[in-house]
Amino acid sequence: MFSQDQAALLSIQLLIMCHVFAEVHQVDCGDILVSEGNATVFTCNMTNAKQIGWTKGRILFTFNVLNNQTFSNVTSQRMSIDSNFPSKLNILDVQHEDAGLYKCEVTYEKGVRTTEWNLTVLEISKEISTSSYCLYILTPGLGLLLCGLAAAVCLYSRKLRTTTTNQDPVPDQFPLQSGGEVVPPQLQGVVDCRTNNKQRSQYLERLNSIYGI
* 135 vs 144, higher pLDDT: 144
Rounded CA gap, 72 and 90, in Å?
A: 14
CB atoms within 10 A of CB 81: 20
Q: Assess if residue 32 is contained within a domain.
A: yes
Q: 2-11, 13-22, 55-64, 154-163 — which is least confidently predicted?
A: 13-22
Q: Report pLDDT digits (tens) over 52-102.
A: 999 999 999 999 998 999 999 999 899 999 888 999 999 999 999 999 999
Q: What are phi and psi of 119, to 5 degrees?
A: -90, 125
Q: Assess if residue 87 is contained within a domain.
A: yes
Quote the pLDDT of residue 4: 52
CATH number, domain of 114, equals 2.60.40.10
Quote the pLDDT of residue 149: 81
Q: Report pLDDT digits (tens) over 145-168.
A: 887 787 887 777 777 777 766 665
Average predicted confidence (pLDDT) for the chain: 75
pTM equals 0.49
Quote the pLDDT of residue 127: 47
Residue 51 has pLDDT above 90, yes or no: yes
Domain count, the chain: 1
* Beta strand spans in the chain (E): 25-35, 40-43, 51-56, 59-64, 69-72, 79-80, 88-91, 100-107, 112-122
Q: Assess if residue 130 is contained within a domain.
A: no
Domain hosting residue 61, numbered range: 23-122
Q: Assess if residue 38 is contained within a domain.
A: yes
Confidence bin at 19 (pLDDT 50/70/90): very low
Q: How far is CA 88 from CA 19, 52, 102, 202, in A?
A: 29, 10, 12, 123
Q: Assess if residue 89 is contained within a domain.
A: yes
Rounded CA gap, 177 and 195, in Å?
A: 10
Q: Assess if residue 95 is contained within a domain.
A: yes
Quote the pLDDT of residue 17: 40
Q: Assess if residue 159 is contained within a domain.
A: no
Rounded CA gap, 212 and 206, in Å?
A: 10
Quote the pLDDT of residue 21: 38
Q: Assess if residue 184 is contained within a domain.
A: no
